[in-house]
Amino acid sequence: MSFWNDKKVLVTGGHGFVGLYLLNKLREKGCDKIIAPRIEEYDLKREENIVKLYKFAKPDIVIHLAAMVGGIEANRKYPGMFFYDNLIMGIQLIEQARLFGIKKFVAIGTICAYPKFTPVPFKEEDLWNGYPEETNAPYGLAKKMLLVQAQAYRQQYGFNCIYLLPVNMYGPGDNFNPETSHVIPALIKKCVEAKEKGEDAIAVWGTGKASREFLYVEDAAEGISLAAEKYNKAEPVNIGAGFEITIKDLATLIAKLTDFKGEIIWDSSKPDGQPRRYLDTSRAEKEFGFKAKIGFEEGLKKTVNWYIEKRNT
């Protein structure tokens, strides 16, 4: 009998990009009691909706994936909303989980919580050594407060709340809306559309010198499910693939995979965001045996193919 067989699990954001993969992963592992509320039914910014949801679901474990997320442009445009929505959801979900006596809460943080100039690879111990990169600081700090809450509640109430720090995720089913998408879907969309229209150039924000790390969404779902099953400590844990690539190299690779042969023009008047991102993932491997499996180019090919097929249906 697996750990999950008799567990009732509530997944917020379960119908989002990562959420759908996590639901599949939990089912694969033998969990058949999953509640994944939709925002239309339960606005989790309102405390009374959280109380109503917990009364209905009676979960053993809560995995809190729901978040307001977006790329640099969305973070610059809606900093207040990114701060308030993410903070108020998380704080109230954790507080009510404690009051309801829920056995375990899995809080999903963000790599944006790290200081702007964190030495690479980012170690969990570096989390408080500076202020986050300005364009996404309100989002990063809102999510970081959930770590403070988790550790404070563990200390005072013995509440089992763990905190995970996933790197940027990507894969089939990602958000390709140009208003709110992250860099990989944004570049895939630009290259595919430019190729279709016969355009000979695309414009990309920044200098291309910044680096990022990316985690394939199926690997992310595996990491979150393993942590939910096996990890029960106060310290935050990075969830990543353990590599870095510059945005310039990323754009070149996506152009190759989409067969876009035009020029990539860098708009240096736009921000790069955080200079570098690359996680030390040794704690996740040591504590609950997580190591990413999908190679980056393989994952990108799957994402590109999914997007092209979706556009053609």
pTM: 0.95
Question: Could you tell me which residues come within 8 angstroms of residue 77 by beta carbon, excluding any fewer than 6 positions away?
Answer: none
| pLDDT value, residue 1 | 66
Q: Which helix (H) or strand (E) holds 151?
A: helix 137-157
The answer to whether the annotation marks 212 as part of a ligand binding site is: yes
Verify whether residue 231 is a known catalytic residue: no
CATH of 8-171+214-242+276-294, one of 3.30.450.20, 3.40.630.30, 3.40.50.360, 3.40.50.720: 3.40.50.720
Q: pLDDT of 141-194, one tens digit each?
A: 999 999 999 999 999 999 999 999 999 999 999 999 988 888 999 999 999 999
Separation of CA 259 from chain center: 28
| CA separation for the pair 141, 148 (Å, rounded) | 11
**Residue 243 annotated as part of some ligand binding site:** no
64 is in an annotated binding site: no
Is 311 labelled as part of a ligand binding site?
Answer: no
| Residue 70 assigned to a binding site | no
pLDDT in tens, 89-115: 999 999 999 999 999 999 999 999 999
The token pair at 268 is 């240096």
In 24-119, DSSP assigns E strands to: 33-35, 61-64, 104-108
171 phi-psi bin (left φ>0, alpha ψ -120 to 50, beta other): left
The mean pLDDT of 128-147, rounded to a whole number, is 96
CA-wise closest residue to 280 among 122, 111, 119: 122
Rg of the chain (C-alpha set): 19
Could you say which of 21, 139, 163, 216 is catalytic?
Answer: 139
Domain boundaries, the chain: 8-171+214-242+276-294
Q: Which residue has the tokens 């009691």?
A: 33
Q: What is the per-residue pLDDT for 93?
A: 98
**% of the chain with per-residue pLDDT over 90:** 90
- Cβ pair 202, 191 in contact under 8 A: yes
CA distance 81 to 71: 14
